[in-house]
Structure 1
Amino acid sequence: MKDKFLVSILINNYNYGHFVSEAIDSVLSQTYPNVEIIVVDDGSTDDSHEIIKAYHDNIIPIFKENGGQASAFNFGFAQSKGDIICFLDADDVFLPEKVEQIVGCFEKHQEIGWCFHPLTYVTQDLSKYGETINHTGVSGVYDVRPHINRGKLRNYIPFKGTVTSGLCFSRNLLQKILPMPEEIRITSDDYLKYAAFGLSPGFILLNDLALQRIHGNNAYTMRKDRENLRSKIEILTAYHLRKNIPSIAKFSHNIFAMGLSKYQKLNSNNDDHKHLIEKYFVGLLLMEKIEIYLRSLYYRIKFR
């Protein structure tokens, strides 16, 4: 594999001192040599600082005040120089040939702006996790812009659950997406992938090229009590996608309707949620508002 592309690996860390060294080591062990490793510590209060500093010149450390995942993404990308950017959560690890395979996709398909792949679930000690995901479809170039512009994405992407450690972008595309709104403090990967779907064709690589830990401190994955949190994330993500990428407004409306349906189902009086909902409806046509309410009703019935 040629190493003409510089690949930036952005590792975002918050209080994962017991995991972050394995994440860094997994990047240092890549079969593709031309990488820079940027570790953004988002105001950790554990021993993360000492562990990160111990890598000296092997990495580029960034220590900042706590601002959330989106803030870490923005800081890391601003310091990067790579032609290709890959994200890695500090509690996950890359498999050795991950970067080599990603570079191969970008080299062969120069029209793409993103390359996404699934992950293998593992336990805290990297043993096989009980739940697995079977992928259907084929690896290849996917251009879902016509579908997402019409507000639909379901069944056009061959696997679900793309998360941070499976996201890779060309620098040219990511410059159009970042900096992203920093109030999306967790699961910021939703904003990145939906924005990418709306702006560029990309490559779905159906190889599990990283391991995703499932453990007690995961902010979101596998949580059973996540409806309220998911509602806020969907509403926030929809609001900023509609604002920043108007061409996918219909898709943003669908995401918002899903968040609204969860909010209605919970019968919540959360002021933050109500304020976000009011902000979203500002400037919409009456027919758009009616369509959103009807769709939210549909989701409430479908998922009750």
Structure 2
Amino acid sequence: MISIIINNYNYERFVGMAVESALSVSDAEVIVVDDGSRDGSLDVLERYRDRAIIIAKENGGQASAYNAGFAASRGDVVVFLDADDCIGADWAAVLKSQYSPSATIYQWQLRCIGEDGQPFQPDRLDPERLTPGPVKEALLDEAWYVHPPASGNAYSRSFLQKVMPMPEEDYRYFADIHLINSAPLFGDRVVLPGVLGLYRRHGANHSTRSSRFERRNVQHRVQAHQRRVHALRSGAERAGVSLPAKIDLRAPFAALDRLILAWHDPASLASPGEIPGIAGDGIRSAWRSSRAGGLSKRIVLTALFLILSCILLTQHLWLKTCRPNLKQL
């Protein structure tokens, strides 16, 4: 049996489409967890009570919705579908053709749609980057690998039983990262062929944020990476796998985001003394990581680390010496 668990919070306008898509999947148990929505979501879900399991609970965050849905499920393979996305009707047939007893995670491409349900450009999420093959080595090296958003992943029940229930306060957001960054440590990853779902881009999710240097975008990426590292450490401990030192700074763009956030908010660093260390780790990762790209990109990244660290240290010196003097004038 397959379980499709839809987690919903204030997505009245989208959740009906998500439920309809899940109900179109053959041999699937459909569970919808409403996490204390304050809009009309429950009125929409009431229409499906005879075909799906509806769980209405107080707001506790995404992890609490995942935990509640998984506790009510029976499937050997489990999908956690976001309420603004959809799963393809032929997904189950593709899964069965690619099923592997050693797999802990299945992943597939998603087609992008807009708020109105119409195609969104680019119409797919990094299709050329989601390629079959092992990812455990990349995950242990940089705490990251190429993967789709939450709605493009399914997990074996045997794996989920090892890592759930997940800590709810730690994962009020980014609950999918807890699973995505743990699963490859316990078994194989299988990439299903084709586009097997819809991913909606709209103003209430992070995917529409375009500027890399905008403060809220940087904060989102830093928080997401912190959750990745937390999930990896937790999963590695349970799987008996050792991690390299400074795993949180071994991805060049993670170190870069730490410095960019410090530029926006100096208080994000415990001490200015962290700046040279983060910059040094970032430069080393830029020349070691396959994600950094070719020679020219590695040079640009190195320059960025040097420039940002100089700016931040100068900023700190100004705040420490000049600003107090200006206040006395």
TM-score band, normalised by shorter chain:
0.7 to 0.9
CA distance in structure 2 between the partners assigned to 1:114 and 1:126 by the alignment = 28
Match of 2:13 among 10, 18, 30: 18
Which residue is 1:38 aligned to? 31
Match of 2:189 among 199, 202, 217: 202
1:235–1:255 CA contact under 8 A, matched in 2: no
Q: Percent identity?
A: 29
CA distance in structure 2 between the partners assigned to 1:8 and 1:66 by the alignment = 22
Which residue is 1:118 aligned to? 109
Q: 1:191 corresponds to which letter in structure 2?
A: H
Match of 2:3 among 2, 8, 13: 8
The answer to whether the aligner puts 1:213 opposite 2:205 as a matched pair is no
CA distance in structure 2 between the partners assigned to 1:206 and 1:270 by the alignment = 45
Bigger Rg, structure 1 or 2: 2
Which deviations, in whole Å up to 9, do the C-alpha atoms of 1:53-76 show, x marking residues without a partner?
221221111112222222211211
Which deviations, in whole Å up to 9, do the C-alpha atoms of 1:190-244 show, x marking residues without a partner?
22111112221120123110011111122x1121341112112212331342144
Match of 2:128 among 132, 136, 159: 136
SS of the aligned residue for 1:26 comes to: helix
CA distance in structure 2 between the partners assigned to 1:138 and 1:92 by the alignment = 19
1:242–1:252 CA contact under 8 A, matched in 2: no
2:236–2:242 CA contact under 8 A, matched in 1: yes
Residue 139 (structure 1) shift? 6.3
Which residue is 2:45 aligned to? 52
CA distance in structure 1 between the partners assigned to 2:68 and 2:269 by the alignment = 30
Which residue is 1:176 aligned to? 162
Q: 1:58 corresponds to which letter in structure 2?
A: R
Residue 83 (structure 1) shift? 0.7
Consecutive unaligned residues of structure 2, counting only runs of 5 or more, are: 287-299, 305-329
The answer to whether the aligner puts 1:167 opposite 2:153 as a matched pair is yes
Residue 19 (structure 1) shift? 0.7
Which residue is 2:260 aligned to? 265
CA distance in structure 2 between the partners assigned to 1:111 and 1:139 by the alignment = 18
Residue 176 (structure 1) shift? 1.8
1:239–1:256 CA contact under 8 A, matched in 2: no
How does the TM-score come out when normalised to structure 1?
A: 0.79
Which residue is 2:172 aligned to? 185
Q: 2:233 corresponds to which letter in structure 1?
A: R
2:107–2:147 CA contact under 8 A, matched in 1: no
Q: 2:47 corresponds to which letter in structure 1?
A: A
- Mean CA deviation greater in 83-92 or 62-71: 62-71
How does the TM-score come out when normalised to structure 2?
A: 0.73
Which residue is 2:296 aligned to? none
Aligned residues: 275
Match of 1:73 among 61, 66, 71: 66
Which residue is 1:231 aligned to? 222
Residue 152 (structure 1) shift? 7.2
